Chains A and B, each alone.
Chain A
């Protein structure tokens, strides 16, 4: 691997900016995502910052089972993010659809709509689990 690629990979590991998208969650996982961003866990230690616009984001954090209402918006948000991009599904519903799987208005888990890089199970997923998953995802960038 050349030196500039090494530097770029180092920068990508050290500066992941996340975009949070609620695809139809009950707000439980959303509150845990916000928890992980608070001063108690201090994700800025790892360079993680929350960004409002998908144009600045590196990691799309999706919570909740994808409903038919949010399906198109999720695809549009994903396509607006510049490459390279990653998707993290947080919570049992985002991973598989959870208890809402098979409901008349639910498309299923996030991986049926867009490619997912990391799954974090739990109802709701704990902030420690979210941080662990993001760190593990970043260690795969080589």
Chain B
């Protein structure tokens, strides 16, 4: 049964299919916002198949095993994180106290592999992209953690399943967490390296960032990892901030798909209305506005916890 969970549902196959479809949805919304037709629905799948069937070049002076292993590690980490997040009911497949931290760390691993991939590529562009990856990690990671821990403080639990159950029984308290939701949406945009935070792979400055030397199937796996991370991050936000579950698991699953669509739609709108900012602007923005906002949310939640009899 664990193999089924891992490989088929809600693991690798389901996440890949949903991730590819969400990439299409994201690109389509982006295209419609620019008043053009946009790609057909099979476009991400065609991209992946084409990349897999192309020649794979490994640069001469890299560590070849590491070069090949990094994309797989990124994909595996992003896929594993889904098991601790509630999807079709307020109970996740596996849960224990503190799994919210595990999920956040699992979602950090792809960024670290992007850094290592760029650093290992021995290319100037990839090296600059790798350093920017890490700098960006230090700016969005703290607001994201604080923003996701604020609802956990209110629910007095660090397990995602228990947080979802708490908010299912106290639905009005969801409204309290709206500032944290905004912080998390912006931070996730930085985590997924999308406009306005696509500084690590700014194609007009440093060609493709960390992925400059990646080609063929390794690049395809990296793209799959990014798509999977997009879906998992949207699932995480949906589970913590929009915990709407009904008793019927099938209808609950449809509600889950709708929630993911809404969150990715917000992310796509962000991507299409903004332009890229500079690195120091991003660090300044994250530490000067996002982190204090998340901190204020935590303080408010602690105070309300003292006032309300929960």
Q: Which residues of A contact B (CB under 8 A)?
A: 7-8, 10-12, 14-15, 39-40, 42, 44-45, 47, 51-53, 55-56, 58, 80, 82-84
Evaluate contact between B54 and A10: CB separation under 8 angstroms.
no
Cβ–Cβ < 8 Å partners of A58 in chain B: 50, 54
CB within 8 Å of A: which residues of B? 27, 31, 34-40, 42-43, 45-50, 53-57, 125, 203-204, 207-208, 211-216, 219
Choose from B36, B40, B43, B208 the contact partner of A56 (Cβ within 8 Å): B208
Give chain A residues whose Cβ lies under 8 Å from the Cβ of B31: 42, 44
Q: How far is the CA of A44 from the CA of B29 in the complex (A)?
A: 13
If A15-B43, A47-B46 touch, whether A55 touches B37 (CB-CB below 8 Å) is no
Are A14 and B46 touching (Cβ within 8 A)? Answer: yes
Contacting pair B40 A45 (CB below 8 A): yes
Tell me if A53 and B125 are in contact (CB < 8 A).
yes
Kindly report which residue of chain A lies nearest to residue B28, judged by CB atoms: A44
Q: Contacts A11-B45, A12-B50, A55-B215 given; 11 further ones with Cβ under 8 A?
A: A11-B50, A39-B35, A42-B36, A44-B27, A45-B36, A47-B47, A52-B208, A53-B211, A55-B57, A82-B55, A82-B57
Measured CB to CB, the closest approach of chain A to B233, in angstroms, equals: 24
Contact check, B53 vs A12: say whether CB atoms are below 8 A apart. Answer: yes
The answer to whether B55 touches A52, judged by C-beta atoms less than 8 angstroms apart, is no
- Cβ-defined partner of B37 (8 Å) among A8, A42, A84: A42
CA distance A79 to B103 in the complex (A): 42
The one of B34, B43, B211, B213 in contact with A39, judged by C-beta atoms closer than 8 angstroms, is B34
State whether A56 touches B37 (Cβ < 8 A): no
Complex-state Cα separation, A11 to B50, whole angstroms:
5
User: Which listed residue, A10, A14, A56, A83, touches B219 by the CB 8 Å rule?
Assistant: A56
Considering the chains assembled together, what is the distance between the CA atoms of A14 and B204 in angstroms? 25
B30 and chain A: residue at smallest CB distance:
A44
Q: Which residue of B lies closest to A13 (CB)?
A: B46
Judge whether A82 and B215 touch: CB under 8 Å. yes
Contact between chains at A44 and B46 (CB < 8 Å):
no
Chain A nearest Cβ from B281, distance in angstroms: 22
Pair A55/B213 contact, Cβ less than 8 Å: yes
A56 surroundings in chain B (CB, below 8 A) = 208, 211, 214-215, 219
**Are the CB atoms of A39 and B36 closer together than 8 Å?**
yes
Q: Which residues of A contact B54 (CB under 8 A)?
A: 58, 82-84
Which of A11, A83, A84 meets B49, CB within 8 Å?
Answer: A11
Q: Which residues of B contact A80 (CB under 8 A)?
A: 57
**Is B203 touching A44 in the complex (CB atoms < 8 A)?**
no
With most chain B CB atoms within 10 A of its CB, the pick from A44, A55, A80, A83 is: A55
- B212: chain A residues at CB < 8 Å are 52-53, 55
Q: Shortest distance in angstroms between B60's beta carbon and chain A's nearest beta carbon?
A: 12
- B208 contacts which of A45, A53, A82 (Cβ < 8 Å)? A53
B216 touches A15 (CB 8 A): no
Among B53, B54, B204, the one with the most A-chain Cβ atoms within 10 Å of its Cβ is: B54
Distance of B119 from chain A, by nearest CB (Å): 17
Q: Considering the chains assembled together, what is the distance between the CA atoms of A10 and B49 in angstroms?
A: 9
